[in-house]
Structure 1
């Protein structure tokens, strides 16, 4: 049996045999001795009509199956194929469920073969795959998939994946396989025989993998330490730039389709001048400048020559990946001397080998997701050089398990511990100490600034890319967040004393009888604490609902309410303050019980270091809740800040989130960052409003510092590549009745899509408007006319939605919030960008409201000083989605006539590249669009 695998894939009339859905096509591939020896394919007559959606997906129509056999005609033949073999499918529950339902309906016994689910096994053995959908997994494994959603093609690809999985499984070290075998009884796939036989083979093998290190039963990849580059003579910066940028320079020699960009060298010189003059700089580099190479080149030169490290901070992991995977490898070819680059993230990103090895010894009652997570991490450890959990896609509750095994959970690691030298975080810190360039993110940079420089190696020069997000990120990291779900989840994870699978129960289980009184005390206080949490957050929920003033809505549809000096105005708020104070006393009582336990255990010398770390970690968690309640509810802090509550009205009546952040962080940044650093370079494609940097200068606290500004214009010919169309006959935007505007927007989307064959990105400023437009489009569109993809409605991450958009010829992508920036869709995939409304924050948005009030106290105009510049920068980001190369061509359609009619509209127009603008009726604009294309 172990040498025979029968792979099956089915196409069906729907998702569930319980709903009388039927098989319409089966594809079967037989593997023996790791060779594909037979393939079979057959249509089946389902004796019912095939839904249009299924026909659209698979290409199978009613005519195809009209004369096909019924399933019961082929039942015996199918049963014989599976004799003495593994049954393999990509998502076994689906295929086996249908197969057995049809067999039972045919009067046959259900199959009970051992199974292999290639979805599950792929997650375990290829944890770094970006997706486990069949076509995307095949792409990741370099398997050609010629006919997706047809049974035989899908079965053939699944068979190829199975062979890759077996090859990968047999390449793993003994220790990894041994631990997988201990977890195997909780897998869906039957792997006992495969794992046992492979372990027997390895037991008698003398071969050792030189790339794998084994310690205390855990196998992980050996990592190389950074070799310090030898000292070298560095030419002058001008000569250095000539070697790289000029004709037949190293950049031209190492880049396909190289185009010299004047702005790129101009930006490199601006960065160099700032470093030399010990000045800060704001550099706006428009799309197409090639800004990441432009700032990396002077940074590398300066760092190697001065022997000083330079920090580069990004907002998105996408840009970090681009720097590490594309730009740095290119620079290693074009820079004529060696240099070192390191990535450094916060401790929570790195796995602790010691904690993970300890957790593998526990977990008899772990659920399936945690077992799967452990298996994925086991395999990943044999591959990863960084230990950065962002490299893999864990199941949802796997991230909750991971929190317990991250470096952040291990406390202060003893330098004399044998695990210290193996710690991924310590290795990342050592690499950073030795590197010329350290790449990090705004979050860690902000945490480092406000925590006495504890997290990054010392530095004097820093380049902040995507700098339009820096002030906002710094404010978030100086602020606080507390929510019901986090508190209750934490208390549930700590658990009662008798719950041996929870944090406290695991520690005290061996000594429960000796601390019975303390445990009774703990359980009583825990129950009271959980009750008080319920009551507090339920009261907050109803308090927000009861407010009569207009509420703001967040991007994800939560109601937002800003609270300020509530105690003076509302009797209920005094009740809430008393409840929060009472809750802090319960948290203090829980901490007191843990401290008493620690004293008792210390006297008897019962606990090992892991248990002590766990108990101390619990106290830290509980103390954090006390501190947060003090700041967010109980005490009044006399600094300008925004405090707000968000409630999810579609969730439970305790789905409440509390936030606070400073309304003005500029003075903090000025004192703790810009005063401390020699040179800070702030760069982005969007730093100016109408060619002025003044908004960013004020916002970041640079007003009284020596700084330079420079604007690098795009090399693209926007006048020839873009048409900006604005309708003059759209319904007026009315906050109380948006229906007419939404209907007009939806009809225009379809009219434009008919001209551009889809290939549209539509940017909304509110999720509510996006949902309503999606519903109208679904009703008005012909089935199968366009692939309609909508953020928050179509499942998948932002990058997955973008890939889906690019995969279909005629697709329309509706996006909000994060889709306004960082989404690159070059070439013919995107021909039309629609901006539904100018991206102003609603005036009752909590942070806007607090900042507006603060600006009024300074006798400033909140609209001109804050609201308008933010909207203009957002608009520029959205506009920048269309043209990503010199060959791109398309239309930007702005539905909001305020960009022309309003007095402030000129700020939007004057902030984007100069393009032809047409302000006319919708019909005339459609004719213009037809001619343009």
Structure 2
């Protein structure tokens, strides 16, 4: 009884501190010019404080403008507990670490150790850098130039974070050559072990009280803990997932398996190199490695010729099946030979260890025995990635979210039809508090949603394309540029871009011309540009004010029925007597559309028009699920009213 009273007192104390921080006389009001208390923000902050005290699960959809970042950071910091904040994107991760956390720590005069930890491929590897510079004689001129620029930066950086590298393009072919990777790491045998940027970042995280990571890294770390291996992150009291809507799909990756053929090819080449420079008496290593490399290439070429991504269908190809198992047989023979030379070369021992892991994954993929998983071949420029993705990760996730930790999940887009149960079911969250907090913005007066009349069916590609371009031209001219055009497919983007180029005088920025951040920077600088993008621009993009007055979306973002994971999930749902459209397609499309819509109104003073060129949202019964989940914008079917609204935005 006494212990419970103490807990109640401490909870009340944290909640009171949090509430006071948001008051008209509180720390925020004293520190932020023009601060206005938002009731929805305080409601969320108090709920987070309560969840922290009770070590409970909390799921919050916080609409744009709620101020969810401060609503979870302030109670987390004031609690004094060990905190991990996980995000879905690098942009938010860096905003939290470099902007939001320093500002709050300064306001509240707090001094906990804070660390930013990214996946290892975000850090420069000094060993690879030295290796690449030693082999520059046969290198492309542009790659060599970029490597020299990176090497100059390497002498100045303190953390080796590639995010701070501005001297070369983020798409430079040199970057993949010099970033840290598990497959190329040689551990304590490395000459740069003491200076290693990845190791330094990890050591810093272990000492920190507040750690900012991303979902990929967090899940990888939790799964390592489950298997009993050494982990990167300390045990925490509070874990906050921002951009939590991304978690279920990312979890599929980590509870599945993948095997990249590029890694296999690199190991075979490495083994030939070891024979030539270290083990000249082991001719079989060269012969078998060469045969494996040739067979791998032959197998890949056969797949490229077929082009199918569904391994279950591909298995019926007898010639491909024979080739697949011949490859496994040859790799097994190579492993046997390598085992006889264990201990003679550290590099050989390392290569054998990595080959064994990849060979097991390859064989598991070829067997294709799990009916509750999708088996997919992803085609790259030269290599393949083989993926096994489970169709349901709820049970696996449930094991990760252990008791005695406060688990906070938040995003601007979690609900379907005002219901959060789809999200909680996907992650196996049986017991949790759920909150739906509406945006405080005045959507009714500041935003207009237009679905133009007389649209052709989206299935009639030619007619839909012509009409879509016509709508874009009218809207872009009315908005004086200042428009995002978001597409559900690269095919439609590539068809629209050249047609639009001929008909509008405003600058067109097209996804693929440069990296995402470069395009956004140019968009902001120009002030009257039109940006055309697919999935990458539907979320994690924040352009405020009159710079973005119009968002145009080509059609409702339903997942492709050819997606292997979708097909596997659909079959499972049908076996359970349920409807795959209602259970998978519709919910995913609603959340994706909400993300795209969320680009339009980012501030209480923002005004803008959303145009959707898909009349299924008003003609089909399921359209109501989309409408119920969107912000409460004024609506019209009259495109002229939408263009008039745009023309009035100053």
Does the C-alpha gap of structure 1 residues 313 and 819 become closer, same or farther in structure 2, counting only changes over 3 Å?
same
CA contact (8 A) 1:763 1:835 kept: yes
1:761 to partner: Cα distance: 0.6
The alignment status of 1:826 with 2:544, answered yes or no, reads: yes
How big is each residue's C-alpha offset from its partner over 1:7-44, in whole Å with a ceiling of 9 and x where there is no partner?
xxxxxxxxxxxxxxxxxxxxxxxxxxxxxxxxxxxxxx
Q: Distance in 1 between matches of 2:476 and 2:218?
A: 43
CA contact (8 A) 1:370 1:401 kept: no
The alignment status of 1:803 with 2:514, answered yes or no, reads: no
Say which SS state the counterpart of residue 451 (structure 2) adopts. strand
CA contact (8 A) 1:837 1:896 kept: yes
1:342 to partner: Cα distance: 1.1
Question: Which residue, 420, 423, 434 being the options, matches 2:207?
Answer: 434
1:594 to partner: Cα distance: 4.2
The alignment status of 1:516 with 2:516, answered yes or no, reads: no
Question: Which residue, 683, 690, 706 being the options, matches 2:410?
Answer: 683
The alignment status of 1:697 with 2:424, answered yes or no, reads: yes
Matches within 5 A, 1:592-631: 592-599=336-343, 601=344, 612=346, 614-631=347-364
Does the C-alpha gap of structure 1 residues 263 and 408 become closer, same or farther in structure 2, counting only changes over 3 Å?
farther
Matches within 5 A, 1:208-287: 236-287=13-64
Say which SS state the counterpart of residue 413 (structure 1) adopts. helix
Q: Distance in 2 between matches of 1:420 and 1:626?
A: 29
Q: Distance in 2 between matches of 1:629 and 1:791?
A: 34
Q: Distance in 2 between matches of 1:464 and 1:915?
A: 28
1:430 to partner: Cα distance: 3.3
Q: Distance in 1 between matches of 2:407 and 2:244?
A: 11
Say which SS state the counterpart of residue 451 (structure 1) adopts. helix
1:460 to partner: Cα distance: 4.0
Say which SS state the counterpart of residue 18 (structure 2) adopts. helix
Uncovered stretches (5+) of structure 1, i.e. residues with no partner: 1-232, 498-503, 546-560, 602-606
Matches within 5 A, 1:684-833: 684-702=411-429, 705-734=430-459, 737-781=460-504, 785-792=505-512, 795-833=513-551
CA contact (8 A) 2:486 2:532 kept: yes
The alignment status of 1:667 with 2:395, answered yes or no, reads: yes
Matches within 5 A, 1:129-278: 236-278=13-55
Q: Distance in 2 between matches of 1:420 and 1:870?
A: 44
User: What is the CA RMSD across the aligned residues, in angstroms?
Assistant: 2.9
1:533 to partner: Cα distance: 1.2
Q: Distance in 2 between matches of 1:719 and 1:332?
A: 36
CA contact (8 A) 2:257 2:388 kept: yes
Report the more deviating stretch, 866-875 or 234-243. 234-243
How big is each residue's C-alpha offset from its partner over 1:344-363, in whole Å with a ceiling of 9 and x where there is no partner?
2334444455x369749954
Q: Distance in 2 between matches of 1:577 and 1:825?
A: 51
1:410 to partner: Cα distance: 3.6
How big is each residue's C-alpha offset from its partner over 1:542-564, in whole Å with a ceiling of 9 and x where there is no partner?
3346xxxxxxxxxxxxxxx3333
1:757 to partner: Cα distance: 0.6
The alignment status of 1:339 with 2:339, answered yes or no, reads: no
Q: Distance in 1 between matches of 2:321 and 2:132?
A: 43
Question: Which residue, 324, 346, 369 being the options, matches 1:580?
Answer: 324
Q: Distance in 1 between matches of 2:563 and 2:541?
A: 25
Say which SS state the counterpart of residue 601 (structure 2) adopts. coil
CA contact (8 A) 1:347 1:408 kept: no
Question: Which residue, 66, 71, 76 being the options, matches 1:299?
Answer: 76
What residue number does 1:145 align with? Answer: none
Say which SS state the counterpart of residue 564 (structure 1) adopts. helix
What residue number does 1:399 align with? Answer: 175
Does the C-alpha gap of structure 1 residues 361 and 322 become closer, same or farther in structure 2, counting only changes over 3 Å?
closer
1:919 to partner: Cα distance: 2.1
Q: Distance in 2 between matches of 1:636 and 1:360?
A: 38
Larger of the two Rg values belongs to structure: 1
CA contact (8 A) 2:82 2:209 kept: yes
Does the C-alpha gap of structure 1 residues 346 and 812 become closer, same or farther in structure 2, counting only changes over 3 Å?
closer
Q: Distance in 2 between matches of 1:897 and 1:358?
A: 57
Q: Distance in 2 between matches of 1:487 and 1:407?
A: 14
Does the C-alpha gap of structure 1 residues 904 and 764 become closer, same or farther in structure 2, counting only changes over 3 Å?
same
Q: Distance in 2 between matches of 1:780 and 1:473?
A: 40
What residue number does 2:566 align with? Answer: 848
1:885 to partner: Cα distance: 0.6
Say which SS state the counterpart of residue 599 (structure 2) adopts. coil
Uncovered stretches (5+) of structure 2, i.e. residues with no partner: 1-9
Matches within 5 A, 1:291-440: 291-302=68-79, 304=80, 308-351=81-124, 355=127, 359=131, 362-363=134-135, 365=137, 367=139, 372=145, 375-392=148-165, 396-403=172-179, 409-413=184-188, 422-440=195-213
Q: Distance in 1 between matches of 2:147 and 2:365?
A: 37
TM-score by length of 1: 0.64
Q: Aligned residues, how many?
A: 633
Q: Distance in 2 between matches of 1:481 and 1:803?
A: 34
